[in-house]
Structure 1
């Protein structure tokens, strides 16, 4: 078997961890996850040597500066990590003549459109995070023609910090949780993202077709507000005997944050389906799977702890 070597940036991120897990059951792929200090996107000068040492068949640019609110006060650093770092990765990919898959975000849009965004819609980030990710998209495209930029959104998983895990945590100690109900998007499982990234990666390696290159939207099927998402998390958790709370739907104005979020960041993923034949599962089903996994892991840990 011809095993392909994928260099994945980052070690502990949601997408990186999901890719590592997916590769464990895919004998055709070997993941080499490289993070700080060897490959530090905040120090782009570390990138080329780290990539050349691995000599991968493909690069998956999964690591990023994702602290949306904190980015407002760390603009320069966010632009280095999300822009200069991916630029260096794409330059290394060009030197090796290999594809790069770069993960981007729905926050490149301002949310003013009433319908889901298409890849050709005008970009206009509302905050530093979105601007830095857009900078990264442009930098990757400027450095190489052999790329797929995958915009995703509202990422959650059993790994790291995310909205789903936060809701389960606060649900343990509260009867009611206030959740914003006037921002709409596509809650997307990092595990589903990983499966789709592998599908895209295989096609990029197998074919030089220019149609496989470019920008693609890649989110779960279906849409929700943050409050809808929270209710589904609590509904699933309650059915499994896990933490749950009521959801008090509030406007964004009642929950001010340093960074302004787009009201509508829904993405139309028709291009990904047309070109790659890839469509991510419905968000509710993936949400329930993730909740079940977290609860089962928590119970297993409790039992293990009791036996010590």
Structure 2
């Protein structure tokens, strides 16, 4: 339930703006909710064009998402650590983390269901065990929860920046200086809903530290440590400082979309205290060989 106390605005526009951050609902979807009598104003159904007035009370019912029945599949990925509470996965390039409409197979979740008997149930049937995500074309380490208790504690740890997450990125340009900090809020792009952007509108604080590991002609190899976990954070921040990740088809240059490997971004290191036993854990995933091959090509200007 939302209490409207502002200047006059259309019902659909108000709901789209109010629910964007938590639910990421499009205006078209909001309009369908209104048309299907899932929205009331002052206990009465209204149209999308209804102009809200000061003091109006808006009630909205968001239907349950489509049930996605993820099937176990024998997929190739590495489990680098496992106990009765959690496991650490080394995700390969090109693998989506969990199913979504139009992409119900070949995901990490499908593979986990094949290999692991019990996964946490907090995120439902199509995201079992998934505490946090990395992008399809980002490789490397990911934490998965096997029990609900571990899941809840890991989510809290992530929100309180108690999980050290270090990435390696190969980016365009010679980055200066040798190290720095990007503190710039990230929210949904105003016109392209597939993208995020640095913006003050409907955004959250995002902090990325970087260090230059090496420079190669017109490229740099960076270590990036994120203090927050916003969608596409490293990719958005590096593009924001004019050094986009090589191969990034959303935030880099148009010609990067032709790079078959995809984006050169790797989840390299995780450090945290075990959510149940409190034992200190540290995991490192070697940089994929594709990085070394690309760096050799750059150095030799192939």
Asked if Structure 1 and Structure 2 have the same fold, meaning a TM-score greater than 0.5 normalized by the shorter chain, the answer is no
- Flag the structure with higher strand content: 2
* TM-score where L is the length of structure 1: 0.26
* TM-score where L is the length of structure 2: 0.26
- Flag the structure with higher helix content: 1
| Rg larger for | 2
Greater RCO, 1 or 2 (C-alpha within 8 Å, sep 6+): 1
